[in-house]
Amino acid sequence: MLAAGAGFKRGALMRNGGAAAWAMGLALMVSAAMGLPAAAQQRGDWPAFGNDPGGSQYSILDQINTANVRRLKLAWTHRSGDVSARGSATGPTALEAVPIHVNDTLYYCTPFNRVFALDPATGREKWVFDPHIGKEGAAALNSNPRRAGICRSVAYWQAQAPVAGQACQKRIFKADVFGHVYAIDADTGAPCADFGAADGHPGYVTHADFDSFGTNDASRGATSGPIVIGDLVVAAAGARDSISDANNGIVRAFDARTGALKWAFDPIPPAHAHDTGAANVWSTMSADPERNLVFVPTTSPSSDYYGANRTYDIPLADATVALSAATGVPVWHFQATHHDLFDFDLPGHPLLVTIRKDGAQIPVAIQQTKQGRVIVLNRDTGAQVFPIEERPVPASDVPGEAAAPTQPFPLSPEPFSRQMLTEDDMWGLTPLDRAWCKAEFRKLRYEGPFTPPSERGTLIFPFGGGNWGGVAFDPAHNLLIAKGQNLALKVRLIKKTSPDKSPSDKPTADQPTSEDPLTGTDLVGTPYRAEAGLFVSPLGITCTPPPFGTVTAIDMDTGRVKWQVPLGQTKYWGITAPAALKWGSPNIGGPMVTGGGLVFVGASMDARLRALDVQTGAELWQADLPAPGMAVPMTYMSGGKQFVVMAAGGNSRVSPDISDALMAFTLSE
């Protein structure tokens, strides 16, 4: 871990809300719970990835509500043109962007490393930032060939005491797959030349300027955006977790004006900087300005499926870590998986909200997991708010491997995904593929959760559970809304018979990353390669029983599930049936909740945006999209109208349809 300055150079709240005084009090409570200034709520902004710094994915806006949501119609569509298929020169695209609304503008990023500023009422372009093209004779900020990469969000900063007539008093920050973090004038789209100037590259800073303690690993890029807290922009760097000595997952904080490094947090113990790596943050982060804390969800150390050469303690891997925003030093942490052999990266930011439990208001950090479990921690101390039990888990049979003897299991809240499988649970569209799944199940090693990878082949279940953006919190009803899936992963370790393949210096979008466990790969620096993929029949039909995707509401007072409904409709080989409505769909993305009593969610493979009743889960509205909406919806007010926006671009790794459509919906007159 590096200390401060360190680093090595290289409207109304709800429909039928009651009396005005009650509504005002509740509105203030909600704003406080979200950590968002009341003024931003009243303007109807959505100024950060999850709206508020704590990432609640909730808005108090209620112009669109349960009574009128059926009148929701498409208002405008923006198309960036940034879309390409697998096999193209730029690589396959995945549009997973969540726009922000601030400064009377909608900002979002594209798979081709561009940022668009739009008129929020019409979708008309105000400006476009493209670091690969120099303007007015200037050299391009990024000389790398353009290639597709995921960009989930951008961040916004503005000076507390702006200097009149001076540029870049309001800034958009954008990270990219090359490890750069750009500062852009929010009004004009021009690069902010003071940012990074001292390091010889005005307009951006780069993780490549600093030692990441990895060998043969140039993966420093980010897929999720930076966050802003005070006058700092905090950015994570990538790593390739199939390499034993991968880049350490260092998170860095830069001065929002100059780009000067203020601190760097390294989750890998210094004594083992070149023995292992990763434990990076590929998903979204959250912040608590009041407590001056930054919250990061870290991932597995490298290599991901084999840990015999990293049996020492790495407590900050697979952990929710609360960092001091002043120094980058951990204030507290909680490790969700010990000695990870399962690729159980924490897939989303901890939600920093205030729940009502046992008659008290408790500030918490709510962490979802890939196992479909929820970890609830006191935001000040990291203490368990709901009990968590260490339970014995299966031992490894891989020579030299020492799996953790116990793993943490939250006793409450109730999980939002299925937790166990039996042979009788195996599913298929026909008797033939069900029989295949049962036979395959018998071949695989599976002894419940945390069964380690093996040379025989292991079934890792639960797997899928939550993913990025997968949970939201409704403070009005004290409900956690979790989008989940019930999938299993097959992992087989294969002894290598030839030397390691050297990873490319310039990774491509097709190469496996810490977000893509579905590809077989060499585990560089180990005796094995790993074959990993979803547990499906030869017809491509999942062997795990439906529902494959769900939306769940959990009461945060009791920890009990209030309702759970299937999400999406699955079509296999062109076959649909009435039962398919109950199957749900595998999914990517997450929900948004509004003060109108609605849950908006895309995510499913059937390419639809849905609105559910937050109290019952009943579907009230849906709209067709040109491709799956594999992002998180967001909402804002403009010109007296509430808009709901969904990026409907799909993901060419998993969906047949891809697009570049950003779609805005509002109530018909």
Please report which helix (H) or strand (E) contains residue 437, including its range: helix 431-443
Put the strands of the sheet holding 261-265 in their side by side order: 227-229, 232-236, 251-255, 261-265
Contact between 526 and 309 (Cβ < 8 Å): yes
User: Tokens at residue 244, please?
Assistant: 């034993």
DSSP annotation string for 17-48: --SHHHHHHHHHHHHHHHT--HHHHHHT-B-S
Distance of CA 56 to the CA centre of its chain: 13
Report the C-alpha gap between 575 and 429 in whole angstroms.
9
Q: How many residues does the chain have?
A: 669
Contact between 619 and 612 (Cβ < 8 Å): yes
12: nearest Cα among 668, 617, 476, 479: 476
Whether 343 is a known active-site residue: answer yes
* 592 beta partners: 600
Distance of CA 173 to the CA centre of its chain: 18
The one-letter amino acid code at 258 reads: T
Cα dist. 42→61, 255, 637 in Å? 9, 29, 9
DSSP annotation string for 213-275: --SS------SSPPEEETTEEEEE----TTBTTPPB--EEEEETTT--EEEEE--S-GGGTTT
Contact between 54 and 287 (Cβ < 8 Å): yes
Given 130, 288, 343, 606, which residue is catalytic? Answer: 343
Cα dist. 479→103, 302, 394, 598 in Å? 30, 36, 34, 12
Catalytic residues: 343
